[in-house]
Structures are given as C-alpha cells and as structure tokens.
Amino acid sequence: MGNHSLFVDSVIKSFKNNYILSGVCLHFRTNDIVGIFGRNGTGKSTLLKIIYGIEDAENKFIKIDNEVLKKPYLNKNLISFLPQDNFLPKQLSVNKVIDLFIE
C-alpha cells in the first residue's frame, strides 16, 4: 500500500439545535497513529461515522488523496470503520472476526 492522505474539513453536526461538531478539521497520512479523546456524548463516534459516510452532517468536506467523498467510502483497502457497538455473532472466534475485516 502506498502513501495516502485523509483530509477532513468544516464538519458541522447538530442534534436538536445543539451543535456537537462545529468546524472540525483533520489531516491524516498513511501510518499516522491518532487518538480522539473526549467525554461521552461529545461527538467522537459521530465524527468517525461522518468520515466513513454512514452518518450525515450539515456540512463536511472530506477527501482521500485527491478524491472528494460524496458517498460512503467503499474501498476497504484505504479506510475501514469498526463501530463501538457489538454487532458480531458471539460464536465467532477472534480469528474469524479478523478475517471478516481483512477480506
């Protein structure tokens, strides 16, 4: 895999007139290790869902390399999302779960 970049700019998201994300800007490159910290309910998971394309936002500008993303990003070789909610069948082994995400 080559060097890639993820650029996120001007993310705005509100729930019931309460802004939880306002003007968020981020830039990541291949092999960057990033932590997103904050209290419960401050928008960390929502931000990741917006970046991945499974949550709408009032405003967002997201691009991978030079491609502006307008729909959910489906190229699992460049970006993946693992939600915090447990959605996997309990009978799967850890190895099977890992296989699901690297295929």
Nearest to 46 by CA among 20, 79, 82: 20
Give the pLDDT confidence of 40-89 residue by residue, as tens digits.
889 998 998 898 888 899 999 999 888 888 776 666 666 766 666 666 67
Number of domain units in the chain: 1
Q: What is the DSSP letter of 67?
A: E
Query: Is residue 27's pLDDT more than 90?
Result: yes
In a 3-state reduction of DSSP, which class is residue 9?
strand
Amino acid identity at 30? T
Reply yes or no on whether the pLDDT at 32 is more than 70: yes
pTM: 0.72
Structural domain of residue 18, as residue ranges?
5-102
